Structure 1
Amino acid sequence: MKFRALMQDAMYMREFQAIVATLAKLAKDCVMILGDRQMHFIVNEDQSSAASPLVWATIAADEYFPEYRMEAARSDQEYIVLSMSSANLGRALSVLRGGGVSMCKLKLQRIQFPCISVIASVQSSSSSEAREVVHDVPVTIIPASDWAAYVVPRVPNSQLALSLPSLRLLRSLIDKLKNISPSLEFQASFDGELSVIAASEMSTVTSRFQKLLPRSLTVSQQEASCSVDSRKASAFFGALQLSNEELTIGIDQEHSIHLQIDVRQDVVLHSILPAVCV
C-alpha cells in the first residue's frame, strides 16, 4: 500500500492543521481513512471521558492537495485505514501554524514501524535556504477484516436545520449554560428561531436566536426539538480551532443533533450529539 499527499497553499495548510488540532482536543486517538478522492478523520467517544462527542471530518483531496496518491494493499480495496494518536499528529502538524512554510508532504512509510511522515519545508529567518522539518507519527494499519468497526458515520435525517451566522456567540453561551443543567434542549422552528434551554430545580434559562436561515429537510415539519448532554455540546464547541463562523444545526426529533461546519465546499466537520432522557 502507498499514500502520498502534498500541500503548498499556506491557507489550506493552516486549515488542515486546525481540523486535526480540533480532533486532538476531543480524543486521544483518531482513525484516518484514505480513499482515492477523499480523506476522513474520525474520533469516537473517548471511553475515558463521558463528555467526548462523536466528531468526524471529510476532506476532498483536490481541495487541499495538488498531489494526492493512494494505493490500497489490494486492487479490490478502496481504502487505507489507519489508527493513530491524534495528539501526535496534531503536534507534527503544528509547524503549519507559523509563517514561512512553503510545502508539506504526508507520506505513509515504514521505518522501524508504520508511520505517517509529516515533512515540511520551512524558510528560516536567519538563512536563505529552507530547512526540512520531519515528524514520524506511528500508526496502526487496520486490516480489511476489521473495517466494519471504522466506517464513516452517517449524517442523521434531520427534520429541521438552521444556519447560525455566529458560531462564537453560541460557543460562549453553551459554555455558561453547561454549569446550570446537565442537559440542554434545542428547539427550532421553520420561521428561523432557535431556542437553547437549560433547566434546573432553581431556574430555567432560555436563549433565543431569531431570523436564522432555515434548511428544512422535511417540508411538513414546522418545529423540532432534542435534548443533549451539555458537557458533550460544550466539549465540541470548546475544541474548535477553526476560524469559520457559520454553523448548521440539524435536529432529528428526540434522537440527535447534527452540528456541521463547512470549512470549504467539500471540506466539512461534523458532530453528532445523541439525545438524552430528561
Structure 2
Amino acid sequence: MKFRAQMKDPLYMREFQNIIATLSKLSKDCLMILGAQQMHLIVNEDQSSTSSPLVWVSIAATEYFPEYVMEAAHPDQDYIVLIMSAANLGRALSFLRGGGANSCKLKLQRIQFPCISVACSLLSTSSTEARDVLYDVPVTIIPASDWPTYVVPQVPPSQLALALPSLRLLRSLIDKLKNMSPSLEFQANSDGELNVVATSEMSTVTSRFKRLLPRFLSADSDRASCLVDSRKASAFFTALQLANEELTIAIDREHSIHLQIDVRKDVMLHSILPAVCA
C-alpha cells in the first residue's frame, strides 16, 4: 500500500489548506478516500452535534498534484480509505497559509503508527535557504471488508438549481435568521428567484434574491422548495474558508438541498442539507 503526492503551486497549496480548514470547522474526524485519479475528503454529520452537516470535497489529482501515486494493498482494489483528525491535518497544513511555501508533500507511511506525513518546504525571510517542516498526522487505515460503510456521497436529484454569484449576503443572512427560527425554507423558481423564509411565532421574514442564473430545471417543474435545519445551514456557511464566491443551490423538493461550490473545474465542495418537518 502506497500513497504520495506533491504540490508546488502556491495558489493550489493555499486552496488545499483552505479546504482542510473548512472541513476541520465542521467535524473532528475526516474520511479520506484515495483513488488512482481522485481524492475525496468527507466529514459526516457529527453525532455529538445536531448542527453539523454532511460535507465532502472531490479533487481531481492532476489539478493540485503534479506528482500523485496511489497503490492499494491488493491489485484488485481501487482505493485506500483512511480516517484522521481534521484538526490535526489542518494544523499540519497551516504553514501553507502565508504563501511562503515552495512545496508540500503528503506521504502515507508507518513510523510507530500509520500516518500521513506532511512535509512543507518554506522560504525563510532571514535566509536564502528553505527550511523543511515535518508533521505526522495519525490515521486509521480502513480494511477493505469495511469499505461499504465508507463511501463517497452521491449528489441527490433536483428539480431546480440556481447559481448565486456571491455567497456573502446569504452567509450573513442565514447567520441572523438561525436565531429567529429553527428552520429555513428555500423557495426557487424558473425566473431565477430564490426566497429564504424564516417563520417564528411573531413574524415571517422573507429574503429575496432575483435574476439568478438557472443551472438546472426539470421539464415538469418551474418551482421547488425545501425546509431545512437553520443551524446546519449556518454551520456550513460559517465554516467556509474558500475565496470562491459562486454557489449553486439545487433543491430536491421536500427531500434535501444540495449546495455546491466549484473551487475550480475539477475541484468541487458539496454539502447536503436534509429536509425537516414543518
Coarse TM-score class (shorter-chain normalised): over 0.9
The letter for the 2-side match of 1:152 is V
What is the deviation of 1:220?
A: 2.0
Tell me which residue corresponds to 1:167. Answer: 167
The letter for the 2-side match of 1:15 is E
Counterpart Cα distance in 1 of 2:47 and 2:100 = 39
> What secondary structure sits across from 1:69 in the alignment?
strand
> What secondary structure sits across from 1:70 in the alignment?
strand
Tell me which residue corresponds to 2:259. Answer: 259
> What secondary structure sits across from 1:92 in the alignment?
helix
Counterpart Cα distance in 2 of 1:148 and 1:30 = 17
Tell me which residue corresponds to 2:277. Answer: 277
The answer to whether the Cα contact below 8 Å between 1:41 and 1:57 also exists between their aligned partners in 2 is yes
What is the deviation of 1:139?
A: 0.1
Count of matched residue pairs:
278
Tell me which residue corresponds to 1:245. Answer: 245
Tell me which residue corresponds to 2:5. Answer: 5
Alignment of 1:37-48 (within 5 A): 37-48=37-48
Tell me which residue corresponds to 2:154. Answer: 154
The answer to whether the Cα contact below 8 Å between 2:185 and 2:196 also exists between their aligned partners in 1 is yes
Tell me which residue corresponds to 1:121. Answer: 121
Once structures 1 and 2 are overlaid, which stretch shifts more, 211-220 or 32-41? 211-220
Deviation >4 Å, runs of 4+: none
Counterpart Cα distance in 1 of 2:62 and 2:185 = 38
What is the deviation of 1:30?
A: 0.7
Counterpart Cα distance in 2 of 1:234 and 1:40 = 23
What is the deviation of 1:152?
A: 0.2
What is the deviation of 1:217?
A: 4.1
Tell me which residue corresponds to 1:195. Answer: 195
Tell me which residue corresponds to 2:78. Answer: 78
Counterpart Cα distance in 1 of 2:152 and 2:272 = 12
Q: Where in structure 1 are there 5+ consecutive unaligned residues?
A: none
What is the deviation of 1:127?
A: 1.1
The normalised TM-score by structure 1 is 0.99
> What secondary structure sits across from 1:215 in the alignment?
strand
Counterpart Cα distance in 2 of 1:100 and 1:84 = 26
Counterpart Cα distance in 2 of 1:166 and 1:91 = 29
The letter for the 1-side match of 2:8 is Q
Per-residue CA shift, 1:41-77, capped at 9, x if unaligned?
0000101100000000000000000000000000000
What is the deviation of 1:100?
A: 1.7
Per-residue CA shift, 1:130-175, capped at 9, x if unaligned?
0000000000000010011110000000110000001111000000
Q: Where in structure 2 are there 5+ consecutive unaligned residues?
A: none
What is the deviation of 1:225?
A: 0.2
Per-residue CA shift, 1:233-266, capped at 9, x if unaligned?
0000000000110000000000000000000010
Tell me which residue corresponds to 2:144. Answer: 144
What is the deviation of 1:190?
A: 0.5
The letter for the 1-side match of 2:10 is A
Tell me which residue corresponds to 1:229. Answer: 229
> What secondary structure sits across from 1:106 in the alignment?
strand
Tell me which residue corresponds to 2:179. Answer: 179
Counterpart Cα distance in 1 of 2:216 and 2:40 = 26
Counterpart Cα distance in 1 of 2:55 and 2:99 = 29
Tell me which residue corresponds to 1:18. Answer: 18
Counterpart Cα distance in 1 of 2:100 and 2:106 = 18
TM-align CA RMSD: 0.5
The normalised TM-score by structure 2 is 0.99
Counterpart Cα distance in 2 of 1:20 and 1:72 = 23
> What secondary structure sits across from 2:25 in the alignment?
helix
Per-residue CA shift, 1:60-107, capped at 9, x if unaligned?
000000000000000000000000000000000000001320000000
What is the deviation of 1:219?
A: 2.1
Counterpart Cα distance in 1 of 2:237 and 2:35 = 28
